[in-house]
Amino acid sequence: MQQPLWVPGTSSIQASQLNAFMALVNQRYQTQISNYADLYAWSIENNQEFWELVWEFSGLVASDQGSQVLENPEQMPGARWFPEARLNFAENLLRFRDDRQAVVSLREDGQRTSLTHAELYDQVAQIALALEKMGVGPGDRVAGFVPNCHYALIAMLAAASLGAIWSSCSPDFGFNGVLDRFGQIEPKVLFATDGYLYNGKRLDSRAQVAEIAEALPDLQQVVVFPFLEAHPDISTISKAVLWDDFRIPDAREIDFAELPFDHPLYIMYSSGTTGVPKCIVHSAGGTLLQHLKEHQLHTDLTDKDTLFYYTTCGWMMWNWLVSGLAVGASLVLFDGSPFAPEPKALWDMAEREGVTVFGASAKYIAACEKAGLKPGESHDLSRLRAILSTGSPLSHESFDYVYRDIKKDLLLASISGGTDILSCFALGCPIRPVYRGQLQCRGLGMDVQVYNDQGQPVVGEKGELVCVQPFPSMPIGFWKDEGGKRYHAAYFDRFDNVWAHGDYAEITPEDGLIIHGRSDAVLNPGGVRIGTAEIYRQVEKVEEVLEALCVGQDWKDDVRVVLFVRLKEGKELTEELKKRIRETIRAETTPRHVPAKIIQVADIPRTLSGKIVELAVREIIHGRPVKNQDALANPEALELFARLEELNQD
């Protein structure tokens, strides 16, 4: 076993909510659980008792919990959690009505808006009543084409309070990308903004909002909130009204719709790079219970915390972030470039706002290191106690960077799950050490295993990440998926009655987890399976490389590994640099990992949520069409790969 990078102190372990939960399990069920491994095993073996106890421990607000925890427990899909329960998601996030700070909304240009829990409740009440008066109710879709700000949060909570289904895209989505999503779900109301800021630019959204409104035939109302201008002209947008003209100022109380546990709350979207995005429907109760577990037990989040995650409203981490209100935490919402006006912008914000839990993508943390930032030296991060990272595997070197240059004494939680489950399969653990390159633990109540190709569980070997028992945040299904065929095909075709997540993973001797990349992007040279993250980890050590993308190319009756690199400005891919990249990869992996070709590219295509698209590149270099380039943030980058002559050379 390797040496840990960080070990929690005895006093922090004893003060953690996870420790309190463990004591409750011991008291209630006469067990002698004293560590996380035993608690995890108990939560799997006593799945229903575990989730019932999470409900109790979290103080989840409901008009009725019901007597049954799980219906059809042997079926995936088909299991139903708390089938008799009645609750409202928004009521749980708005349970506090005091004068503590609930949310701070920050813009790239420094503009700051702060709301207390009481003020947030009042503003949600004003929008909720306006929606109710226009006939919005349970099951109606309310969409947001919105930046990450307090207006977006208020609109979502107002919709959820009525039992409507919320779905959002960030305003940098192109018209076709938005229509591919909202066109499928047919919203009754669209919340939008007059524009947004990014990297010092003011970007007007009104023409695009007008185009979207015209293309959605079931749309009854467009509500526009001001972002660039105090009183924007919205005369070109049909069915549009300004936020202040829409809300009902004298509304004081919210009549929360009490609905079933599995009532739909959110519609999320797959990346859509291989076709029209799948519309993934998530339940109010499942989302709430899972997020409460992850916030309280795995992140140790309380009403004393200030929680920040760098995200847009088009990424599931926004949904995860805002659930922090249910434990009374103060949220920091930020919209704009994380490196504007200068690379240290988010660390300035963390110091100024007293952030205790700081979340970002693995790419952001790697970019901070490449930029030479040392926030631990330049900033007062005394309140910071945890850093969360997701979006892609966090490299071993990024673990080193965090503890060397940000802060020695904090919990670094590399977490992994996804849009598919609106939560995590692997998380942080406040009572366990942090090991270099590892996700600390599998989530409580999530029977996560790694299967080999024969469908057998393995430890210490790479394989398919699966979950073999039902869990509350499994999607209800896909929107308009008759008979659930597409839903079943997405997760249950490979192993019967087992959720196959699509990650290539490994359970470590320390009982942590390593994600080696997406299993559908696994390379297979000479029949040996290689996760792309294994190569990226080594390439990112090379100073000149900003980022990389790796695919397998069919070549002479085999597969060869092709590595594309985007270099720092002014750098060229010389033969000497190619040699250094190959030597770096070979030194820490195997000769099979060493790419046959290394090619410099000006840009690397990524999805609208910032993930690189290995599958789309693999398709285009083989001359096959990429079905939905509107799902890409930079589709022009994909064209670069179609014209690379080097791909036709030995």
Bridge-partner residues for 598, per DSSP? 563
What's the whole-number average pLDDT of the chain?
94
- Candidate from 103-107, 481-485, 534-538 with smallest mean pLDDT: 534-538
Burial of residue 104, with CB atoms counted within 10 A of its CB: 0-12 exposed, 13-18 middle, 19 or more buried: buried
* Tens digits of residue pLDDT in 170-229: 998 888 889 999 999 999 999 999 999 999 999 999 999 999 999 999 999 999 999 999
**The total number of residues written for the chain in this structure:** 650
* Tens digits of residue pLDDT in 62-101: 999 999 999 999 999 999 999 999 999 999 999 999 999 9
Residue 607 forms part of a structural domain: yes
> Is pLDDT of 274 > 70?
no
Looking up residue 247, the CATH number of its domain turns out to be 3.40.50.980
From 260, 277, 304, the end of a domain falls on 260
* Tens digits of residue pLDDT in 51-61: 999 999 999 99
Distances (CA, A) of 53 to 246, 258, 447, 542: 42, 21, 17, 48
Q: What is the pLDDT of residue 272?
A: 66
From 242, 260, 278, the end of a domain falls on 260
pLDDT band of residue 589 (cuts 50, 70, 90) is confident
Question: Scanning the structure block, which residue is given the tokens 């390379």?
Answer: 523
Taking the alpha carbons of 527, 529, 534, 540 in that order, is the dihedral positive or negative?
positive
Residue 243 forms part of a structural domain: yes
Residue 584 forms part of a structural domain: yes
Reading phi first (left if > 0) and then psi (alpha if -120 to 50, else beta), residue 536 is in: alpha
**Domain containing residue 231:** 117-260
Q: What is the pLDDT of residue 273?
A: 61
Token pair listed for 448: 């996560």
Q: Which residues, in sequence order, are CB contacts of 454 under 8 Å at separation 6+?
A: none
**Helical (H) or strand (E) element with 642:** helix 635-642
Whole-prediction pTM value? Answer: 0.90
Total of domains in the chain: 2
- For the chain, the straight-line distance linking the first and the last C-alpha, in angstroms and rounded, comes to 42
From 197, 230, 260, the end of a domain falls on 260
* DSSP single-letter state for residue 146: -
Residue 56 forms part of a structural domain: no
Residue 169 forms part of a structural domain: yes
Residue 199 forms part of a structural domain: yes
Q: What mean pLDDT is predicted for residues 124-143?
A: 98
Nearest to 595 by CA among 637, 538, 642, 636: 538
* Tens digits of residue pLDDT in 593-624: 899 999 999 999 888 777 888 888 888 888 88
Looking up residue 640, the CATH number of its domain turns out to be 3.30.300.30
| Percentage of the chain exceeding pLDDT 70 | 99
Alpha helices in 458-603 (DSSP H): 485-491, 532-539, 575-588
Residue 587 forms part of a structural domain: yes
Residue 250 forms part of a structural domain: yes
Amino acid at 47: N
